[in-house]
Amino acid sequence: MIETYLYESDTRHPATLALVGSGSMTAYDEATGIGLGVQRERADTLHSYAMFDQPLDWFDGIDFNDGPAAARTVAAMFEGWVPELVALVADSDIPPIFRPLYGLPTGHRWEHVPGVTLIGDAAHLAPPDGEGANWALFDAGQLGNAIAQQPKNVDAALRAYEAALFPRNIDTATAAAAYYPNLTCTDPPTAAGQA
C-alpha cells in the first residue's frame, strides 16, 4: 500500500470528496490488481491507500525519497481512472509513504509461556481488512475478562484467553486474506531489518 492525504477536501477537492462520500470507499480493478481505499477523516481530510497486488521488490521502482516524483509515478499507474480518484494520489498533500503489508501464517499459535501472552497484531498480524485495531481492543477486553474471572490464578486466565484466541485468529486471518485474493504474505521483518 502507498499512503497519501488530501486536506480540506471540501474546498480544495470537492469533486473527489463527493465521490468518496461520508465514510470510506474502495475502488478495485480486479484485472490489474490496483485499488484505492479512502477514509474521510476530520476536517474533510481524505486519507488514502493506493493498493497494488505486487511483491515487495516491485516497489523498488518508485523513488519514495522524491515525493513529487513518487506521486507522479504512482498516479500514472491509475491511467484511465476518473481524475477525481487519481487526484487522491497526484495531488497528495504529503509525499507518498510506502506501507508494505506483512502477515503471520494463518493458524499461527505458540506454546504457552507462564505469565506471558500476546494481544493484537503481535498475536495475529494480518493484512489490513479494517478490523485489526478492533481485534486488538477485543483481545484486550477478553484478556481483562479472563483475569477478572480468576484473579488469583493469572496463569490459568492466560491459558483460557489463549484457548479462545487461537481459533478466533484462524477466522480473522482467513477473513483478512479473503480481502486480498492475490496477496502472498511475506514473513514480518526481523527487528534488525526494521526501519
- Contact with ligand FAD (CB under 6 A): which of 68, 130, 144, 167? 130
Size of the site for ligand FAD (CB under 6 A): 13
CB-wise, 23 or 115, nearer to ligand FAD? 23
Calculated CA dihedral for residues 143, 149, 151, 152, nearest 10 degrees: -130
Question: Is residue 56 part of the contact set for ligand FAD (CB under 6 A)?
Answer: no
The one among 1, 25, 27, 177 contacting ligand FAD by CB under 6 A: 1
Query: Does the protein bind ligand FAD through residue 118 (CB under 6 A)?
Result: no
| 179 closest CA partner among 133, 135, 129 | 129
Spatial distance between the Cα atoms of 143 and 148, rounded to a whole number of angstroms: 9
Indicate the residue type of 177: A
Q: Would you say 4 and 94 are in contact if contact means Cβ atoms under 8 Å apart?
A: yes
User: From the list 36, 46, 49, 96, which residue makes contact with ligand FAD (rule: CB under 6 A)?
Assistant: 49
Beta-sheet strand order (sheet of 2-6): 24-29, 34-41, 45-52, 2-6, 97-98
What CA dihedral angle connects 128, 130, 135 and 140, to 10 degrees? 100
Q: Does 177 bind ligand FAD (CB under 6 A)?
A: no
Residue 133 in the binding site for ligand FAD (CB under 6 A): yes
Please report whether residue 186 would count as binding ligand FAD according to CB under 6 A: no
Per CB under 6 A, does 188 bind ligand FAD? no
Q: Give the binding site for ligand FAD (CB under 6 A).
A: 1, 49, 99, 120-122, 128, 130-134, 136
